[in-house]
Structure 1
Amino acid sequence: MRRYFGYTLVALYLLSSPLKAQTLGSLTVEKIMRDPKQWIGTSPTDIAWSEDSKTIYFNWNPDKNVADSLYGYDLSSKKINKIAPADRKTLPAKSAVFNKQKTQRLYEKNGDIFLISTTDFKIRQLTNTVERESDPAFSSDDQKVIFTRGMNLFSIALDGGLLSQLTDFKTGTKKADAKPEGQEKFLKDDQLAMFEVLKERKEKKDAGKKITDAEKAAYPKEIYLGEKNVSNQEISPDGQYITYRLTQTNKSAKSTIVPNYVTESGFTEDISGRTKVGAPASDSEFWVYNIKKDTTAKVSVKGIPGISDKPDYLKDYPKLDSAWKNKERDVVINGPFWSENGKHAVIIVRSLDAKDRWIMALDPETMALKLLDRQRDEAWIGGPGIGGYPMSSGEIGYIDENNIYFQSEETGYSHLYSLNVETGKKTALTSGNFEVQHVDLSKDKKTFYIITNEVHPGEQHFYSMSVTGGQRVRITRQAGANEVTLSPDETKLAIRYSQSNVPWELYVMDNPAISNTKTAQPEQITKSVRQEFLSYPWRKAKVVTIKATDGQNIYARVYEPKKSNGKAVIFVHGAGYLQNAHKWWSQYFREYMFNNMLVDKGYTVLDLDYRASSGYGRNWRTGIYRFMGGKDLTDNTDGAKWLIKNYGINPKKIGIYGGSYGGFITLMGLFTTPDVFAAGAALRPVTDWAAYNHPYTANILNEPQSDSLAYRKSSPIYYAAGLKNSLLMCHGMVDVNVHYQDVVRLSQRLIELGKNDWELASYPMEDHAFVEASSWTDEYKRILKLFEEKL
């Protein structure tokens, strides 16, 4: 009884004295590098609507669980509920396609195909197999569902459920019927001539085979692939043509190996990695199967305008330049994109050297190609809605049966265009010194919903616009970033919004383009951020512009201390093509918090969107072509000069740090401009671009075997002799992106050069992006120690 009474007293005391909310207090590395879900909170992600537009689904973790869970916000009750696993299994997938009447939608989930009615929202499962079915689409008459299973296309009749195979792709080569020759042929002919029974039996067998073959004529043509792989199988709306891509992997391309030392088995285990830039590429072919003619044919690219144009950089290599001789460049064909009535087929052709993108009309009957649009860039094709790699189609679709829409950097900024496939007339739907960063076409195909950064490069806003272009109506008003997901009925907007010092939260808002009201305001749904995080006054860094040496404006964040210690640190974001000097919550939130801590200690911190950062158009994006560590580095050294001039920073007390591309810039800074930076921390840095991957690097530097000058200029390992000041390098040992081998090779180079003031911290269980709080803590304690001691 005493124990029970004592427990009751304690319980009553707790109820009458609420727990004091945790406060963060002064910042330390140990505090800010903890598991963020335990003290910052987890923002909602993967936003999706229910089919009836009454519920918003999102992944969230308000309970500090190991992983996020699915939640639903009911618009009528305005309540958030956790979705049970059993209910989650029945929810439709986000990616789905409509039939023409918009009464049904198809989607794939867990490898099976489902159909959902948009009137009563009933779900019908069409497949239930061990094999994976994918890429479902309606036939042109909406009576069948087309999908891929394995290598082949199939269809299911919605009335009756008849399953039909549309293609018969087979690996290997067809074995020809063996025909006797010489002695064997003589003996066979002699036997048939001599024995009537043998002759009669053979005639019966041959007649039976003819009947069997005639019955098989209803089956699709056998298409043997040899050692090639088939992909992008698609049937035309009229069911007359099947297009597909064949890819031949180059077996001579050598893959890398990443050793994993700390394993469950106790043995070192190898992780199979990527190839390096310049490795032999796979061959790609685009084919058309004419079902009526029972023929297959490869689409020829010989007549494409400019297919043999050589890149300008070859002028630096006279032997390669003179040997070009109208060489036909390798390409990848994406698509086709069919109009609903099947009248038009459009393909996207991209050169493997990344310098050309052609939009072309394809006539599958004659195999003829007609040029609709060509975008040429002596650096590389890229930008929002365009994509930077051969396998990317970019943004493209049909406004109506004759007009397509797409994005292009023709003016220097990614903008939206329409083009009449029949007449070839192209119309710019948007224009100006800003980017169109996302495009959605309304269900009635009368309105574009787009996200642009026209208000400010550091803001993203949502607009509605007629499909004919003209005035854009701005819908979002909150300064920062607005990620919008339209409801299926297009009457509501689910908005993921953040500011530079406030993480992402979820909002809901009426769509004024539908409701015709100007008073619609976003209503916050989630409250994800924890009190401990909110207890610290996180800074809204100033977004400023700095004049570069070449006269360009560099956008940057500057963090100002209340009382300066005369020292500064420049943070360099990673990825190269990424934006961080903006007004929304950064994906570099740990670095953001670390920068706040440095400012508390009196440092001034600068974070620049140097050359090649995203959000600023083509010229900024390609400013590093053939010279990484050129303008991207001088933008940072110009930032250092700006700090000295505007904040009275001691020129001998400036540090620099960053990860991945930021680590690369840090190395280039310490090796080539040692009088600018007194200390630097290079985290998971690229030390030699010839060791990085092909898709990213070849765009910027071409291939090392054909443009060695670009690699020599751009790789820090060649400049290591220039190190004079303090260098810290940190690298995960199971990094499958920038391999640990990179930093090991540079370490050996520094040893051979007799350099002393450097150190390497290795993290045996970390990949490119660290996941363990202990690793983050160790890394940033070392960075802080470097700056505190060396600056």
Structure 2
Amino acid sequence: MKKYAILVFILASQIAHAQTLTVEKIMQDAKWIGTSPTNIVWRYDNSAIYFNWNPTKSVSDSAYSYSMQNASINKETYNNAQMVKAIANGVYNQAHTKIAFDFKADLYLMDIATSHLTRITQTAEAEYNPYFILNDSCIVYQSGNTLFSWNIATGFTKQLADIQKEQPASKKPGEQDAWLQQQQLSTSDILLQRKEQKEARTNFLKAVKHADSIPVIYTGNSNLESLQVSPDGRFFTYNLVDAPSNATIANVPDYITASGYTTNISTRGKAGVPQGKYACYVFDTWHNTAILIKTDALPGITVQPDYTKDYPAKFSDTVRKPRDVYVYAVSWNQTGTAAVLDIFSQDFKDRWLMQLNAATGELQLLDHQRDEAWIAGPGIAWVGSTNTGWVNDHSFYFQSESSGYSHLYVVDINTQTKKQITQGNYEIQEARLSRDKQYFYIISNEEHPGKQSVYRINTDGSNKQKITSLTGGYEISISPDEKYIAYRYSYQNKPWELYVQENAPGAKPLQVTNKAMSDEWKAYPWRDTKIISFTNRDGMPVYARIYEPVKATKNKAAVIFVHGAGYLQNVTYGWSYYYHEFMFNNLLADKGYTVIDIDYQASAGYGRNWRTAIYRYMGGKDLNDEVDAANYLVKAYGIDPNRIGMYGGSYGGFMTLMALFTQPNVFKAGAALRPVTDWGHYDDGYTSAILNQPYNDSIAYQRSSPINFAAGLENHLLICHGMVDVNVHYQDAVRLAQRLIELGKNNWELASYPVEDHSFIEPSSWTDEYKRILQLFNQNLLKK
């Protein structure tokens, strides 16, 4: 009995030792966790699901398929898998009997019933973006800036447009020269007769122009973008873009290169970089005319944003110039009888959906969204794409935040009536129209902000049915015949696996893969963290996940993890993008720290007001929520208010700097990873939406940039930054370091990673970074 007790004790000690987390263990190559399937697509005939996977822990993923008939997983050849994925990304004809697609820069047509492939092109040039026109009789595709049409029946290829720089216009005569020319004509009958004959011949040739003549589109010195042809073949629409001549692009030096020489990586401009000028045209092939679509009369186009009132000397009330816009997309209905233009203002404040009369270029308003902060949200562009389309030839669907949350709407272009299809205090995070155009398939978080579910709803908003049943996160792919759905599913402590089920409410999901968690990874009891909410100072619920230590090891110190991206949701029941931090937070909890991770104001998933709470003041209400989280930990979890730290990357790094610089009484140590230190140096497309242009709204940039508050640093700061970061440039860290040196601060350090971009790749870099973070907290948050 005594020997048995000793044996049990030894085994228990060995198991405990095996389950001890270290930084080196959790930051090793991610293959130790397991392998999750990615890039899921259906085979065109519904017979199999293709995905990338790495169950053998090879250097990189390989292609696999799951047979619906045999319920078996098979390894696929690279080329076969690439072909299946190319077909899956192709476009169907109206009857869903054929698919046009591009594969390795050439075009193909597949007959679905016979699986017969017809190769359309085989050229050195790349052909792409195919789609059907003229009642599915032709396939239009693009090569360079030129459109071509391929006739399915005859195999005949036709160039649809000739793109040319416009010929210089004849010099307009001055007053004297014009007078002399008129005098010559009035004094010579022969000259007048020759002029009249020349003009008559020109007019005659225009009248009898051959139908096969290729229309010429003149671009001048502008760049041609978004060229497409209407389904009936009559109209072209396109944008001409005048790129700014004075836009400076920042370079990032790369010091560790194979050549031994430092090279420069060309990246992006900075906030406020000059924008291009956009002009949208419609070309009528019947009349050989190009019509400029005029946007200077759009509703509200001359209304200046509210923030301009803070600068009365700069923005005069008497100046009411139309603001610059760009046509994001032109969507034609199936028959080509109607088109809708999706137009955004370049200051991010307005979005218009306008019906286009292609023959005249006239516009008619269907919907106008105005946001004094900035237009965004799921399915509404900014950091993603717009979700729009046609339910039928007269009903156009889109997503809008006009109710405060992103929801689906349908507008009838004949009656000008608009209907909200979904409603409630939740977001439609994804939506797609069914093949028969009778349903929308949607992913929403209506049951709980952190829970996703898949639903089917009629296009009139009736009969909504829940399709999925598991609690967690979803990425779905519907079979071509829509009888089944495949999806990646995850839970907060279980990485993504592949599932398949019938496309019906109550259908039982079948788990296809089972390698996302290795035996080694499963040996540790990863926390199924509690998701809670607390009330912030504004009286609103803030959702959070808590990593709790066991009572025996609790040290009354706490760490707040701040997710990046700003507009991102991390407090969900699904597997986090921040899986390294998930593991590190478990390690911290094992060491007695209480860790909290919140979706502060500006996070995704909570509607328009939450998203725009940081407008003109990053580090304002979002940081208030972090301070309120610290206070909540003190009250609800018995945390010592003098032993709270913070860490985060990118936007989370920015927040950590603002916390250390402006809230020294709350946060005693912080690790700012790849942080933005000055928003004037970040990307324009992201920053100018939130803070406007720096030369127009200096107030917003002054109060939002940590470098302006560096004098407030009192406690211990660690900065970590990759030196080849093409997102948040290493220059940000260098500029802040110089500022701290000038201020005489000595309680900070900068760790530089010469081979790392914004997201680290090398395990050695991850390990070094997080060993430094752990040391920072152990030295400054634990009692000596």
Aligned pair 1:502/2:490, yes or no?
Answer: no
Provide the C-alpha distance between the structure 2 equivalents of 1:462 and 1:267, rounded to a whole number of angstroms: 52
Which residue of 1 is the match for residue 510 of structure 2? Answer: 522
Per-residue deviation, 1:218? 2.8
What SS is found at the alignment partner of 2:613?
coil
What SS is found at the alignment partner of 1:583?
coil
8 Å contact from structure 2 (residues 50, 81) kept in 1? no
Aligned pair 1:742/2:735, yes or no?
Answer: no
Provide the C-alpha distance between the structure 2 equivalents of 1:175 and 1:327, rounded to a whole number of angstroms: 29
Provide the C-alpha distance between the structure 2 equivalents of 1:570 and 1:335, rounded to a whole number of angstroms: 42
Aligned pair 1:36/2:30, yes or no?
Answer: yes
- Given candidates 215, 223, 226, the residue that maps to 2:217 is 223
Aligned pair 1:74/2:67, yes or no?
Answer: yes
What SS is found at the alignment partner of 2:687?
helix
Provide the C-alpha distance between the structure 1 equivalents of 2:220 and 2:318, rounded to a whole number of angstroms: 31
Q: Which amino acid aligns with 2:750?
A: L
- Given candidates 336, 349, 356, the residue that maps to 1:342 is 336
Which residue of 2 is the match for residue 233 of structure 1? Answer: 227
Per-residue deviation, 1:85? 2.7
What SS is found at the alignment partner of 1:399?
strand
What SS is found at the alignment partner of 2:602?
coil
Aligned pair 1:704/2:694, yes or no?
Answer: yes
Note closer, same or farther for the CA distance 1:551–1:273 as it changes in structure 2 (3 Å cut). Answer: same
Provide the C-alpha distance between the structure 2 equivalents of 1:324 and 1:686, rounded to a whole number of angstroms: 37
Summarize the alignment of residues 541-560 of structure 1 with structure 2, pairs less than 5 Å apart: 541-560=529-548
Q: Which amino acid aligns with 1:465?
A: I
- Given candidates 58, 69, 78, the residue that maps to 2:51 is 58
Per-residue deviation, 1:123? 2.0
Provide the C-alpha distance between the structure 1 equivalents of 2:579 and 2:18, rounded to a whole number of angstroms: 16
Q: Deviations over 1:670-724 (max 9, x none)?
A: 0000010110000000000000010000010000000000000100000000000
What SS is found at the alignment partner of 2:701?
helix
8 Å contact from structure 2 (residues 225, 238) kept in 1? yes
Provide the C-alpha distance between the structure 2 equivalents of 1:471 and 1:212, rounded to a whole number of angstroms: 57
Query: Number of residue pairs matched?
Result: 746
Per-residue deviation, 1:207? 11
Per-residue deviation, 1:82? 1.0
Which residue of 2 is the match for residue 6 of structure 1? Answer: none
Task: Give ranges in structure 2 of 5+ residues lacking alignment.
Answer: 1-13, 185-196
Per-residue deviation, 1:661? 0.2
Provide the C-alpha distance between the structure 2 equivalents of 1:445 and 1:89, rounded to a whole number of angstroms: 29
Aligned pair 1:168/2:162, yes or no?
Answer: yes
Aligned pair 1:645/2:635, yes or no?
Answer: yes
Note closer, same or farther for the CA distance 1:689–1:216 as it changes in structure 2 (3 Å cut). Answer: same
Aligned pair 1:598/2:592, yes or no?
Answer: no
8 Å contact from structure 1 (residues 503, 529) kept in 2? yes
Q: What percent of counterpart residues are identical?
A: 49
- Given candidates 680, 698, 706, the residue that maps to 1:690 is 680
Q: Deviations over 1:420-452 (max 9, x none)?
A: 011110011110000001111111111111110
Q: CA RMSD in A?
A: 2.5
Q: Deviations over 1:93-118 (max 9, x none)?
A: 13221111111111112211111122
8 Å contact from structure 2 (residues 83, 103) kept in 1? no
Provide the C-alpha distance between the structure 1 equivalents of 2:539 and 2:171, rounded to a whole number of angstroms: 73
What SS is found at the alignment partner of 2:147?
strand
Which residue of 2 is the match for residue 472 of structure 1? Answer: 464
Note closer, same or farther for the CA distance 1:21–1:648 as it changes in structure 2 (3 Å cut). Answer: closer
Q: Which amino acid aligns with 1:566?
A: K
Aligned pair 1:313/2:301, yes or no?
Answer: no
What SS is found at the alignment partner of 1:320?
coil
Provide the C-alpha distance between the structure 2 equivalents of 1:324 and 1:109, rounded to a whole number of angstroms: 55
Provide the C-alpha distance between the structure 2 equivalents of 1:388 and 1:762, rounded to a whole number of angstroms: 31
Summarize the alignment of residues 657-696 of structure 1 with structure 2, pairs less than 5 Å apart: 657-696=647-686
Per-residue deviation, 1:24? 4.8
Note closer, same or farther for the CA distance 1:429–1:146 as it changes in structure 2 (3 Å cut). Answer: same
Which residue of 2 is the match for residue 732 of structure 1? Answer: 722
Aligned pair 1:622/2:612, yes or no?
Answer: yes
8 Å contact from structure 2 (residues 44, 84) kept in 1? no
Which residue of 2 is the match for residue 483 of structure 1? Answer: 475
Per-residue deviation, 1:226? 2.3
> Which runs of structure 1 show a deviation greater than 6 angstroms over 4 or more consecutive aligned residues?
20-23, 175-179, 210-217
Per-residue deviation, 1:521? 3.2
What SS is found at the alignment partner of 2:580?
helix
Note closer, same or farther for the CA distance 1:500–1:377 as it changes in structure 2 (3 Å cut). Answer: same
Q: Deviations over 1:28-78 (max 9, x none)?
A: 0000000011x1112111110001111000011111111111110011111
Which residue of 2 is the match for residue 4 of structure 1? Answer: none
Provide the C-alpha distance between the structure 2 equivalents of 1:219 and 1:377, rounded to a whole number of angstroms: 46
Provide the C-alpha distance between the structure 2 equivalents of 1:52 and 1:497, rounded to a whole number of angstroms: 24
Provide the C-alpha distance between the structure 1 equivalents of 2:318 and 2:113, rounded to a whole number of angstroms: 60
8 Å contact from structure 1 (residues 173, 225) kept in 2? no
Aligned pair 1:722/2:697, yes or no?
Answer: no
8 Å contact from structure 1 (residues 663, 686) kept in 2? yes
Per-residue deviation, 1:236? 1.2
8 Å contact from structure 1 (residues 22, 531) kept in 2? no
Aligned pair 1:266/2:254, yes or no?
Answer: no
Task: Give ranges in structure 1 of 5+ residues lacking alignment.
Answer: 1-19, 190-202
Which residue of 2 is the match for residue 8 of structure 1? Answer: none
Provide the C-alpha distance between the structure 2 equivalents of 1:79 and 1:67, rounded to a whole number of angstroms: 22
Per-residue deviation, 1:159? 1.1
8 Å contact from structure 1 (residues 684, 732) kept in 2? yes
Aligned pair 1:119/2:119, yes or no?
Answer: no
Note closer, same or farther for the CA distance 1:433–1:265 as it changes in structure 2 (3 Å cut). Answer: same
Provide the C-alpha distance between the structure 1 equivalents of 2:128 and 2:93, rounded to a whole number of angstroms: 17
